Amino acid sequence: FSNATWTAVDNYHDEIYITKDEACFDAANDASQAAGHPPHNVTATQGKFLQIICQMIKAKRVLEIGTLGGYSSIWFAQAVGADGQVVTIEVDPERAELAQKNITKAGAQNVVEIKVGKGLDVLPTLPTDHLYDVVFIDADKINNQHYYEWALKLTHPGSVIIVDNVVRGGHVIDPTTNELSVQGVRAFNQKVANDHRVTASALQTVGAKGYDGFAILLVK
Ligand code: DHB
Ligand code: MG
């Protein structure tokens, strides 16, 4: 089986699991693609998977690092509901502008707040008296370990931290790689190893976006 099969199975699962209403979120990806954004958004089944994780712990506040076109932000907004809040950080003002349009089109503008700036500049400005139930780390991978430290500061026992792209086609186990993103993932993993503040695991995934994976951490 190849990447073509993984994509075909994603399409098959989309038909089964993604409702017509949810499929409308894809307009965000279409607009993103038309604007020349990289195709780095989570897939529909991944977005819904993340949404269900939020629902399982009755999350009301989600922090996302890396907005891109706002696609996952919309899934999170649906998860937390009208009385919830999603704060999402985007470094690129043009991407943030399109994300705002996409989020508004999806009717999530009252739930999602986009903060424009570098993650490491914005994170220290977030009040620590309003903690988050879920943090999704999906920005520049080189800073993953730093985003993780901020996520710990901004969460409470029982919060869930999810990190995207921790496998990167298997490159994560190549010790000779000079890819900075892979080095970022490895540095993050090293931080998590034997970290008593969390209980954590990682899951490899295949699909329309190729071979990658998520790390999931439960804050103790
Ligand atoms: C890349 C970033 C992502 O967040 C993603 O999901 C896939 C790829 C990247 O920068 O290559
Ligand atoms: Mg990603």
pLDDT, tens digit (0-9, with 9 covering 90-100), for 34-48: 999 999 999 999 999
Closest by CA to 139, choosing from 120, 124, 153, 154, is 120
Digit-coded pLDDT (tens) for 114-136 = 999 999 999 999 999 999 999 99
Residues spanned by the domain of 13: 3-219
Supply the CATH number for residue 27's domain: 3.40.50.150
138 C-beta closer than 6 A to ligand 1: yes
Provide the pLDDT for residue 55.
98
Give how many domains the chain has, as a whole number: 1
Measuring from atom 6 of ligand 1, which residue has the nearest CA? 40
Helix axes 3-17, 44-56, angle to 10 degrees: 50
With cut-offs at 50, 70 and 90, classify the pLDDT of residue 153.
Answer: very high
Whether the pLDDT of residue 192 is over 90: the answer is yes
Provide the pLDDT for residue 175.
84
* Percent of the chain whose pLDDT exceeds 70: 100
The stretch 149-178 carries a mean pLDDT of 97
Provide the pLDDT for residue 112.
98
For a ligand 1 pocket test, name from 165, 167, 188 the mutation site with the most ligand atoms within 8 angstroms of its C-beta.
Answer: 165
40 C-beta closer than 6 A to ligand 1: yes
Taking a C-beta distance cutoff of 8 angstroms, is the pair 70, 41 a contact?
no
Whether the pLDDT of residue 137 is over 90: the answer is yes
For a ligand 1 pocket test, name from 40, 138, 182 the mutation site with the most ligand atoms within 8 angstroms of its C-beta.
Answer: 40
How close is the Cα of 210 to the center of ligand 2, in Å?
A: 12
Digit-coded pLDDT (tens) for 58-70 = 999 999 999 999 9
* CB under 5 Å of ion ligand 2: residues: 138, 164-165
The stretch 49-62 carries a mean pLDDT of 98
Ligand minimally distant from the alpha carbon of residue 72: 2
Order the strands of the 85-90 sheet from edge to edge: 112-116, 85-90, 61-65, 132-137, 155-164, 210-219, 198-207
Provide the pLDDT for residue 2.
87
